[in-house]
Structure 1
C-alpha cells in the first residue's frame, strides 16, 4: 500500500495569487492595488517545494481502489487546508466509476449551536456552480427540439428583447460559452441580503438591468451572469414552468437530490440544514447574513449537499444517467462536454457550460462559484470517470480548493516532469512585445461599475528574459515554448496570446482561466496614465492652496475680477481634494457585499460633488481666458493659474471617463 503524503501547499504565495484570479472570476467587479486586491499574507513558513513534488519520483502513486488510503489522504488534506486558511466548515464528495468513492464533512454548519457538517444533508451555497443546472436544463430542451443552439434568443424570449446592436444575433451557444458580448454589471443590484425583497421575477430583473452589448457575439469570451440568467429565463418561458420548479422537477427529483434547491430563501423544509457563512474577525468566526441572487438566480442561487452533488456528477459522467433515470441523452451529454470555443487550440477551451482544465496532463471539465462567504468547485475527469465536489463556508476557500485539486492529482496521477526548451538567442526581441497592461474582457463600460475596474489590471513585465507577472514572492515567470505560447517556470500553467494582422498583441489567456481572458489595455484605461495625471493635479491644488493661504491679504486687496478669480481657484482646489477623498472613502472602499447589494444615500450624495466640480472647472476656464485677456497679475501667476485650470480639467476628465458624473447606476 502506498504511503499517504500530506500536501503542504507549496509555493503558497503563488497559489494564493492564482486562486485570487479564480475567485475574482466569480465576483462581478474586482478591485485591486497594482494588480488585484491584496489578500492577507499567509504564514511565511510555507514549503518552498514545487507542487509537482507532492509525490516523489520513487514513490508509487496513491491507490484510488483503497478506500482507507483515500479517506486518510483526503482527510489530512482537508483538515490541513482548513487550519491553514482559517475555514470554519467544508465538505467534499468524490465519485469514481459511477459510485460514491468518498464523502465527508468538516467543521460546523452552525458554530453557535455546535452542528457538524453532514455531507448528506448540509446545504452549502454553491454560487455560480448553479449555472451547471441552468445549462443542463437548456440542453434538455435542446434535445426535445424546443430550443436550438444557433437560433436568435429573441425567438424564445417573450418578456425581454435583446437589442440588435450588431447584425449577428445572440444565440444559446453564445450564452453557454459566454461569448454573447455583454458588458458586466451589478453594482447596487446584483445581490441582496434582505429576504423580504424575495421572490423576484427573473424577467423583471433582466429588463430593468439590461446590460449593453459591447462586442459582436462569438468573438471573445466574457464570463456573464446576465447571460446565464437570460438562459434561465428562456428555460422558464419556453417550458412554461417557473425556473425554480423546472430545476426541481427535471434535475433534482430524477437525480434523487433531496437536499438541493435553487429557491430563495431556502424552503422551510430545508432551512434546518443550511450551512451558515462565516467571516473571521478578531481571531474568531462570526456568522454573516446570506446573500440572495433574486432575479439572477439561474446564475447562482443553488444550495446543495455534497452527496446530492455526487448524484449530479455521476449523471454527467455516465452519459446523462443516474441509476435508472436519464436526465440527458448520451449524445447530448457528449455534446455538452465537448469543446465549443477555444482561445487557442493548444490550450483548454470552453464546453457548453463547462470550463476545461489541464491538470497533470489530464483533461478536466469544471465549474466553480464564490460569493462573499462561500467558495465551491466541481471537477469532472471524463477519462478517469472521476468527479470531485468541494465547498467551503468561509476563509480562503478558493486557495484551498485549488490546492486540494492539485494535491489530489499529484498524489494519484503525478505529472511527468516539465522540460523547458532552450531559449533562442533573440529571446529579448521575441518576448518584448508581450509586456504591458491588460484588462479583463469581463468589465463594464456604461455605468458606475466601470470605476471599480479602474485598478483591476494585469501588468506583464520582463525579468531576466522571462515574462513576469506579480511581484515579490507572488511573482510568476513564464518562458516561450511556441508561437504566442508561454510555460510557467517551476509550475504547471501556461499563457497564450493573440496577435492581430500587424503582429501586435491584442489578448492573453491563462490556461486555468479559460472563461476570463484579458485584452491589451488602451492607454486611457491604464493606471500609468491616470496616476501621474491625478498626482500632478493634487500637487498643484495643494501648492496653490498653500500659496493662497500665504497671500490671502494681498488677494483681498485685488480688484474684484482678480479677487473672484483667485477665490474661484482656491474653492476649486478645495472641492477637488475633498471630492477625491470622499470618492475613495465612500465608493472605492466599499466591500463586495455593500457594493453589489445597494446604493447608499451617502454614495448618491458623494456623486453630486464631481458634478459641482465640473461646474467650477468650467468657471475657471472662463476665468483663465479673462485673466490672459485682461492681464491679471504677472505672467508667472497667470501661468500657474492656467496650470491649476489644466489640473481641474484632468480631474474632470477622470470623473467623466470612469462614469462618476451623475448617477450612472445599472
Structure 2
C-alpha cells in the first residue's frame, strides 16, 4: 500500500522541482547556417547526433532519411534492429512500425477521393454510409464532415476500445469495430482540435465505401504501388519476406534491453498497423514535395497537395500564427520556417515525418524504443536550427504586470483528447494535464508528467514564449477575461481546457493518497482490535459495534483493491485495452460493491454517534474514514473509474 501512496503522490501535479534555467541567447551572433545539400557534412552531423541520441535515450536502433529537390540526400540506419542476432538497421531494408505517421497516407488517400469527386469535404459523412452499418449520431445540429475529421475537430471523445487485440486471428472487419466501439460526440464540430484515432479510421472507411473496395486494397493500388513502396504493408503478421527484416521493439529495464512482441492493431486507417522502411517513406515525402508526383507516377494534383499542407484550422485568434492543422498534416513551424508533417507513438516505436515545403526538404526518423519520444523532436529542432536558423532575439524578461497576469492563469489544463465515459480517462488525465503556475518575478511555469517543469515569458497578454526559445503556449479567454483554454504551438492537434480546482491533479492525488492511508488505518484497527482487547483485558464490542467496524473494514479493503487494480490497468494499459484481464473485470464489479458498502458506512456512522459506540477519537476516526471513502468515490467518478 505504501507503493500505491508513493505512485499517487509522485506524479508532478504539484510542481516542486527546479524550473529550467533561462538562457540568454544572442542568436544573431550565432547564425551560421549549414547547407543541407552538402551530403558529407549532413552525414557527419547526423552520425554524431544519432550516436548521442541512441546512447542518451537508451534506444537500440533508428532509421533516418533526408530528401531534397526530388532526390534522397541521406538514407541511413543507426544501431540495431535485433540485438540478439546482431542485425543492424538498414534504412533501405529494415521494416519499422511508424504508428500514426502512417495517417498521412490515409489522408492522402481521402484527398484522392475528394479530388476525383467521389467525396466532398463539407458533406455529412452519413451521406456516404448508407450501405454501411456505421453511422454518426446527430448529437449536435452541425453534422460531422470529412473537413472536420481531417483537422481532428469533429468533437469525438478519445477511446482506444477495439483498436488492439491479442492475436491477428481476432482482427474483425473495420465496419464491425467502428460500429461496436463508436465514441461519443462530446462537443460541437469545428470548435476545438482534439486528436482522434477513430475519426481517421472513420474517414478511411468512408473512402472504402465509396470506392467499393477495402481501405487496404485502395491504398495499395492508389499509393503504395505507384510510389514503389514495395516494403510497406498493413499486414499482420508480416509476410515472411518482411518478417525477417522487422525491427524488434525494445524497452530499457533494469540495465538491459527487453524485447517485445508486436502489438496487433485492428483499424488500418489510423496507422497502427502501418509498417514500412525509411526508403519507402522517402518516396512518399518526395511525392508530397514534388506537387504530388514521384518519377512518372502522380498520386495527387498540385492544388490538392497545397490544400493538405495549408492551414485548415486556426486554434488561436489571439496568436493566429500559432501552429494549427493542415488537412491531415500537423503544423510544426519553427524559426519562421513552414513545416508540416506528423508523428507516431507506439509503445515501443516513435517516429516523425517533417516536410519543409518552401525548401523542398523532408526529414523522416523512426526509433525502436520509447526512450526517443523526445529524441525525434530534438532531432527536428537541431536540424532546423542548423540549416534554417532564426536570427531573431528571443524574449527573456517578463514585461511589467506580467506576474499578476500569470497568476490569473494558474490551474490545471486538461487535454480534450481524453475519454469521457470509460476508465481509459485515467491515461488522459494523468499524462495529458498541464499544471500552470507562476513565479514571483512574472514567469509562467508548466508541469506535465514526463516533461518536468518549463518556464515561459510573456510576449503579450495570453501569449508566452519559452525562455530563450521560440515554443509558444497561448491562452484563450472567455467574455469575463478568464483563461479557459491552453494551446501549445509544438503540439498542433490538441486543446487543453481549464478544469475546476476539484478536478486538479493536486486534489486528485491528495484525496487518493490520504484515502489510502485512512483505509490502511481502518484495517489496522479492525484487525488489531481483538489483540488490543486481549492485552488490556477489555470486554468485547457489542454486535452492533462489531458490525459497524466490520462494514467499514470491508469497504476500506474493497477500495484499496479497486485502486490497485486500476493502477495496474493504467500501467498495463495496452494489454488491458486489447483484452481486459480477469483482475480488471473483477475490479469493474468491486467498484460498485465498494460504493454500495460506502453508502452503508454512512448510515452506520449515524448509529455510531447516536448510540455512542467506542470513545470519541474512534468515532471521529470512523466518520473521517467514511468521509474519505465518499471523496475517493467522487474522484474515481471524475476519472470514470466509477461511471454512474
TM (norm. structure 2) is: 0.89
Deviations 1:559-594 (A, max 9, x none): 43344223323333344344434443x33432x432
2:382 maps to which residue?
407
Give runs of aligned pairs for residues 165-564 of structure 1, distance below 5 A: 165-186=139-160, 189-198=162-171, 200-344=172-316, 345-420=320-395, 423-456=398-431, 457-463=433-439, 464-470=441-447, 474-547=452-525, 549-550=528-529, 557-564=540-547
Q: Does the aligned pair in 2 maintain the 1:193–1:289 contact within 8 Å? A: no
SS at match of 1:212: coil
In structure 2, do the counterparts of structure 1 residues 291 and 498 end up closer, same or farther at CA, with 3 Å as the change threshold?
A: same
State the 1:116 CA deviation: 2.7
Q: Does the aligned pair in 2 maintain the 1:32–1:455 contact within 8 Å? A: no
State the 1:505 CA deviation: 0.7
> d(CA) in 2 for partners of 1:255 and 1:37?
50
> d(CA) in 2 for partners of 1:630 and 1:372?
56
State the 1:146 CA deviation: 0.7
> d(CA) in 2 for partners of 1:109 and 1:36?
37
In structure 2, do the counterparts of structure 1 residues 611 and 286 end up closer, same or farther at CA, with 3 Å as the change threshold?
A: same
1:613 maps to which residue?
594
The match for 1:83 among 55, 58, 74 is 55
> d(CA) in 1 for partners of 2:45 and 2:466?
28
In structure 2, do the counterparts of structure 1 residues 524 and 155 end up closer, same or farther at CA, with 3 Å as the change threshold?
A: farther
> d(CA) in 1 for partners of 2:638 and 2:446?
27
Q: Does the aligned pair in 2 maintain the 1:292–1:301 contact within 8 Å? A: yes
> d(CA) in 2 for partners of 1:244 and 1:223?
22
> d(CA) in 1 for partners of 2:457 and 2:21?
21
SS at match of 1:358: coil
The match for 1:159 among 119, 123, 133 is 133
Confirm whether residue 589 of structure 1 aligns to residue 566 of structure 2: no
1:15 maps to which residue?
none
1:599 maps to which residue?
580
Deviations 1:125-146 (A, max 9, x none): 1110110111001000001111
In structure 2, do the counterparts of structure 1 residues 470 and 540 end up closer, same or farther at CA, with 3 Å as the change threshold?
A: closer
TM (norm. structure 1) is: 0.86
> d(CA) in 2 for partners of 1:368 and 1:353?
11
State the 1:625 CA deviation: 3.4
State the 1:405 CA deviation: 1.5
> d(CA) in 1 for partners of 2:203 and 2:223?
16
> d(CA) in 1 for partners of 2:469 and 2:487?
16
> d(CA) in 2 for partners of 1:580 and 1:473?
25
Q: Does the aligned pair in 1 maintain the 2:473–2:486 contact within 8 Å? A: yes
SS at match of 1:650: helix
> d(CA) in 2 for partners of 1:273 and 1:176?
33
Q: Which runs of 5+ in 1 are unaligned?
A: 1-30, 42-46
Q: Which runs of 5+ in 2 are unaligned?
A: 1-7
In structure 2, do the counterparts of structure 1 residues 146 and 52 end up closer, same or farther at CA, with 3 Å as the change threshold?
A: farther
> d(CA) in 2 for partners of 1:340 and 1:59?
32
> d(CA) in 2 for partners of 1:104 and 1:73?
13
In structure 2, do the counterparts of structure 1 residues 649 and 65 end up closer, same or farther at CA, with 3 Å as the change threshold?
A: closer
